[in-house]
Amino acid sequence: MPYDPSQLPIGERIVLNVVSTLQAVAPPTYATSVREVRRFDGNAFHTHKLPAIAVVEGVEEHDNQRLAIIEHVLPLNLVLAVHGQDWQVQLKKLAADIRVAILADHTRGGLSMDTRVSSTEVFDSEPSSPLGVAQIDVRIRYRTAYHNPGSTTP
């Protein structure tokens, strides 16, 4: 398939898929209703928009050893934020919801070979602070054609 510069690269389409997947987290399918999901842009969330999730892209790895195919590993850090005196319980529920949502379609709509949740870390908060933050690390493996980042096939 020839390169089409107007087509979004597969990696970008995967990130958009993750964002839309997380935006759909709401009852009755999930315990938590996420108010805001966005790519990390350097701006903090406002407490009235919590619970919220920032999708932070890590450094992508590439393996060019196959003929006409590049295998990628796209690391995403999902930063979760909640507000309330029961922030620890809220974070655990939200982390469970996010794990279920992310793994419901490990192929990201047919764009990836695999999606894995590699770790979940809850950051300690001040005892008097009603703000809780956690990070879920996700690794997504996908392939692109050697000369076409917008195609999964050579």
Topology, domain 10-120: Alpha-Beta Plaits (3.30.70)
Average pLDDT of 115-136?
89
Residue 42 gets the label, from left (phi > 0), alpha (psi -120 to 50) or beta, of: left
Q: pTM for this one?
A: 0.92
**For residues 46 and 122, what is the distance between their CA atoms, to the nearest angstrom?**
20
pLDDT digits (tens, 9 = 90+) for 21-61: 999 999 999 999 999 999 999 888 888 899 999 999 999 99
Q: Which residue has the tokens 């764009």?
A: 111
Listed by start position, the domains of the chain span 10-120
N-terminal to C-terminal alpha carbon distance within the chain: 6
The DSSP secondary structure of 2-37, one letter per residue, reads ---TTSPPHHHHHHHHHHHHHHT--TTTSS----EE
